[in-house]
Structure formats: C-alpha cells, structure tokens
Amino acid sequence: MESSAGSGEGHIRGVSTHGGRYVQYNVYGNLFEVSRKYVPPIRPVGRGAYGIVCAAMNSETREEVAIKKIGNAFDNRIDAKRTLREIKLLRHMDHENVIVLKDIIRPPKRENFNDVYIVYELMDTDLHQIIRSNQPLNDDHCRYFLYQLLRGLKYVHSANVLHRDLKPSNLLLNANCDLKIGDFGLARTTSETDFMTEYVVTRWYRAPELLLNCSEYTAAIDIWSVGCILGEIMTRQPLFPGRDYVHQLRLITELIGSPDDSSLGFLRSDNARRYVRQLPQYPRQQFAARFPNMSPGAIDLLEKMLVFDPNRRITGKFCIFILWLMT
C-alpha cells in the first residue's frame, strides 16, 4: 500500500511497513520511516551532520510537526549521549521561547533500533537564515529577537541548565517573529560533575574562559554567546569569525581590548594567565565607531555582554531590564 507525501510534481510516496503500523518514505535518497499517525505531505525542511528533518502532519492533532531523523544514532558514543541529553532536558521544559519536544517515535522492532526519530513543533526558519537573507532588520526586530532569547535563557538558567551552544542557527523562528531556543544536545545541568570537560560552543560564539580552557564556568558563557548574536543581527556578519583558538582570542581582544591583570582573576591556571599576558596587546575600540548603525541602547548592552572577565559580565536578568528601558 502506498501513501502520497504531496501532490503534483516532486511528490514523495510512502510504502507501508510492519503490518501497516509504519510508513517508509524515500526523501531524496534518505529512508524516512515514521509511525502511521504522521501523514503526508512529507517534505524535507532541513539537514545537518545528524541527518535530515522533515515536516509532516500529525493526523491525531491535525498540527504540522518537524521530525528529525538521527541515523545510526548509537554508532558514536558522544553523539548518542548528545541525543539522549536533548531528549531528557526538553521533556522537562515548558516555555514559549524553548522548542517543544512533541514525541519520540518508537522503533518498529527493538532489536533493530538504529535510528532515532524526534518530533518537535514546526518552525519556519532560523535566525542564521534570516541574517543571511535580504530581509530588512531594524532595531525593533533586534530588540524583539533578543528579548525572547533572553527570556528563554532565563528560564533555562533557572533550571540550573547551561545551553552551551547558542548561535543563530539554533534559534528557530516562525513568520510572526516568535523565537524559540533549540538544540539542547550540548546543554548540561550545573550539578553534573563532568560537565566542564566536553566540547562546547561553536568557536565563533565561545567565551574567553572557554577558549582558555577554564575548568569551571557559569551561565556567563551563554551571555557571551548572546552578545555575539546581538552584534551579528545588527551587522549581518559574525563578530568574531576566528579560524582557530589563537585567531579567535585575537579578534576578541582587538575589539574589547586586551585584559589587564584585574580581569584575569577567574583564571586559576598560572599557565593560562601567562599565556594571555604574552599575547599582542590591543586597545579597546570605541563601539560607537565600530558599530555606527547600532542604537546607543544596543551598544550599551553589547558592551556589558562582551566583557572578558565572566564575573563582570552582565546577567540575563539585567539584560532583560535594559531591553525594557530601551523600549
């Protein structure tokens, strides 16, 4: 038995499997097998290193959803832990600025459980796509995006969870400019004893304390990432597109200036402090000159987020307060 995943040119047909309980689709060479309640039209909406994301209709609720297939999810231990971590955390989260996990599609047979299918609410795009588009973005857009991001982050941090991978492509949007934080695969609770040791944060959005291998860090790492995102929204370019760790630190210090000794107290390692001191010295740039199209309020907030010492970096709660003053 076949079911059509669309009509007209380019439609994708599904084949019933496992006694009609599941339907298998071939989505541009990717086999996509979902339980029967998820019905056509099936259409690809994204892909990445993890696999492919397709939109489908939940026939029971009549809502469109996004289904992410993670192929061979257990071949790599780190990737498997990342998938499990996202599922465990999102199951307990309920906030309008955090992506909703709707369902986990059970495998047809436990002994052949290789692929994981996670069902999320469907969003239209992400902030990375918007920044790269020709869509005009004004101060109101920026303020609304940032307010929602900080609001969602305040909720996440209140649960003692650090996201650890905030970047434009992980901020999902719909046509109403509603924003939701997604991809919690690198997130960790602050109570986990080994949470400081793994790879975290895409380099361009990585705080100085992470670049310097600081063994202990706080929610301030997420605030630094938000500052990088704010600058990128306003300039339509990444603030610190470093090629490697050394280049990344150089780009940061070229903008915010080289730290003095009083800003290095968070570094417990003498070697790390010595390393920073021997780096080329740069004066702090005037943000108003560097970002001539940014409003004074946005510049003030950016300066408070992009602070080398995490202990002096503004907190999410005060970021929201400043945004409120800017309205």
Task: Please give the CATH superfamily to which domain 125-326 belongs.
Answer: Transferase(Phosphotransferase) domain 1 (1.10.510.10)
pLDDT of residue 200: 60
Of 21, 30, 27, 24, nearest to 2 by C-alpha is 24
Tens-digit pLDDT profile for residues 256-301: 999 998 888 888 888 888 999 999 999 999 999 999 989 888 899 9
Q: Where are the domains of the chain?
A: 2-121, 125-326
In whole angstroms, give the CA distance from residue 21 to residue 41. Answer: 18
Tokens 């309980």 identify what position? 21
In whole angstroms, give the CA distance from residue 267 to residue 289. Answer: 31
What CATH number belongs to 2-121?
3.30.200.20
* Active-site residue identified among 79, 126, 165, 194: 165
Of 29, 5, 8, 30, nearest to 16 by C-alpha is 5
pLDDT of residue 11: 59
Which residues lie below 8 Å from residue 72, measured CB to CB, with a gap of 6+? 114, 115
Tens-digit pLDDT profile for residues 97-148: 999 999 999 998 888 899 999 999 999 999 999 999 999 888 888 899 999 9
Annotated binding site: 69
3-state secondary structure of 149: helix
Regions of the chain where pLDDT drops below 70:
1-11, 48-49, 192-201, 324-327
**Contact in structure between 68 and 118 (CB atoms under 8 Å):** yes
pLDDT of residue 201: 64
Annotated binding site for ATP: 69
Strand positions, DSSP E, 98-249:
101-105, 116-121, 125-126, 161-162, 171-173, 179-181, 188-189
Looking at residue 285, what DSSP letter applies? Answer: P
Whether 165 is catalytic is yes
Considering just the CA atoms, what is the radius of gyration of the chain in Å?
A: 22
pLDDT of residue 30: 84
Q: For 11-47, give the DSSP string.
A: -EEEEEETTTTEEEEEETTEEEEEETTEEEEEEEEEE
In whole angstroms, give the CA distance from residue 51 to residue 55. Answer: 14
Joined tokens for residue 172: 């999902």
Greatest CA separation found in the chain? 71
Same fold, 2-121 and 125-326: no
